[in-house]
Amino acid sequence: MPKQTTLWESLSRLYPHLKPIMPRLMLGLFAALGASIMVLAIPQVFRVLVNDALAEGQATSTVWIASGIVLVLGVLEAAFVAMRRFFVINPATTVETNLRTSFYRHLQNLAVAFHDRWGSGQLLSRAMSDLNLMRRWMAFGAIMLVVDALTVTAGVAIMFFMSWPLALIFLAAAVPVMVYGFRFRTSYSRVSRKSQDQAGDLATSVEESVHGIRVLKAFGRSREALDAFSDQAEELRETEIHKAKSLAWFSFIVTLLPELALGASLVTGILLAVNGEVSIGGLVAFFATAGVVIGRVEFIGPLLAMTFTAKTAIDRHYEVMESENTITDPQNARTLTNPR
């Protein structure tokens, strides 16, 4: 049975490998935060534009100025996104290469008895697929999960500043999302581990069939091997469908509830605007900000799925790396010298 670890315990195992590249990762994080700040700033330009620039008696030049500001913010957002990729891609791939090299070195040092117990496909999937998943999480998933969480927090704070009654309606949708998110974490982690293990078993079957193809043909066992492989492939397909359905239901929940809250906020906001309790520009900015927040909330679902998949990949990686070499040197070892 694999050792059960919490999400934090599994992710913290990568810290020694991430420590050398942490400055670059932090720069990537700040760049991603800069892009989010630009996105959140655009609705405030809309608020000023509607309330002031479009008011009666204002010069049309103010519209062009506001449009220019939005254009500059958009260009800055694109620049920050490009900077994030520039800062994190190279160091993340370096860490992936180092992990893969150390993994291969460790495999060479382990006793033959270890390789008798482990299927070659399982080791191959850990050396290739799992490390690729870990690199993608380091370079993208971890950074964007933090940035999206901060963006949602900042966006909700801005919404409270513009209209706290509307923000409360919108925030009410967060409670059931959080409750369902806790259940999603447990179920998705379990099915993700099952999927990756089955993919390793399938790779083992392919490797063994390829190496033993002469034996299979000599004894006429090709049909039996194909049937066994088809059964394994079908099991993996069903697991992947189960995993996709879990993510689909979570995405459905985190999309539907904020949208319903947004609809309720729209009706309430119109009534507040009619009564003069909120300006038209403030209402426009509120819903533009809400659109940004909803988009980030919807994106958190796939990011959480990537995080749980990365946790499974880390656990599978260290199952091998923490395997001890049973071949030890004797206490009174002697150094052999070549006779001359």
Task: Name residue, tokens 């998943």.
Answer: 133
Residues whose CB is less than 8 angstroms from the CB of residue 67 and which lie 6 or more positions away in sequence, other chains included: none
Query: Where are the chain's structural domains?
Result: 7-321
pTM for the model: 0.81
What type of residue is 150? L
Least confident of 51-60, 167-176, 207-216, 291-300: 51-60
Least confident of 190-199, 266-275, 313-322, 331-340: 331-340
Judged against a pLDDT cut of 80, whether residue 178 lies above it is answered with no
- Per-residue confidence band for 163, with pLDDT thresholds at 50, 70 and 90: confident
Mean pLDDT over each residue of the chain, to the nearest integer: 86
- Per-residue confidence band for 241, with pLDDT thresholds at 50, 70 and 90: very high
Report the C-alpha gap between 337 and 340 in whole angstroms: 9
Structure confidence at residue 54 (pLDDT): 62
Judged against a pLDDT cut of 80, whether residue 6 lies above it is answered with yes
Domain spanning 7-321: CATH 3.30.450.20: no
Structure confidence at residue 181 (pLDDT): 77
Report the C-alpha gap between 173 and 265 in whole angstroms: 11
What percentage of the chain exceeds 70 in pLDDT? 94
Structure confidence at residue 55 (pLDDT): 61
pLDDT digits (tens, 9 = 90+) for 267-310: 888 888 888 888 888 888 888 898 888 888 888 888 888 898 89
pLDDT digits (tens, 9 = 90+) for 36-64: 999 999 998 888 887 776 665 666 777 78
Report the C-alpha gap between 56 and 318 in whole angstroms: 67
Six token digits for residue 254:
């985190």
- Per-residue confidence band for 2, with pLDDT thresholds at 50, 70 and 90: low
Six token digits for residue 76:
């800055």
- Stronger pLDDT, 138 or 216, i.e. the higher one: 138
Neighbours of 282 (CB within 10 A): 22
Six token digits for residue 262:
């947004």
